[in-house]
Structure 1
């Protein structure tokens, strides 16, 4: 992947949506919710403080994270068609 985030930005690959309920009912595409979980693919160098120092991010590549429903901006890689979210570290709620 050629995507390198800047500052306190994080690139996340969203997990696939569930295709059936716990009771075994298959869900059509229109009924599927976008998952609010994903895996961190790439992280920026950290937020720049007023003194000029970098504050390192709390998440690292490979972390499984939980984020808000409308977090980030979607990015679709042209060669592979993979979809990623680019979000600020503040939009991540927890590491799973």
Structure 2
């Protein structure tokens, strides 16, 4: 299998590093792999310039590098780069939205 060092997205493609699922509860209990929730968010690592329409107008990408985004369950293409991490390539149209400031579960109940 060929491994490449860097991926540069074209057009409206976005490179995402998905977040890892929770493997342990706050109390220290290890969650079995079968029970771990599927992660549907990640961080934008790279983004293309945008989509060029047939009339020459460029529509910019809606997300920026470093943003945490919400992802659909059944989309994207998995790739592995030279750093041995898995990344996913999505069209910016497939990305559902951005996520801001995670909420602490204890603080949310108050």
Structure 1 counterpart SS, 2:34: helix
Q: Bigger radius of gyration, 1 or 2? A: 2
TM-score in terms of structure 1 length: 0.88
Q: 1: CA distance between counterparts of 2:23 and 2:35?
A: 9
Pick from 70, 86, 93 the counterpart of residue 89 of structure 2.
86
Pick from 50, 75, 98 the counterpart of residue 95 of structure 1.
98
**Residue 74 of structure 2 corresponds to which residue in structure 1?**
70
Gaps spanning 5+ residues in structure 2: where? 100-110
Q: 2: CA distance between counterparts of 1:86 and 1:33?
A: 21
Q: 2: CA distance between counterparts of 1:94 and 1:16?
A: 19
Gaps spanning 5+ residues in structure 1: where? none
Matches within 5 A, 1:27-66: 27-66=31-70
Aligned residues: 95
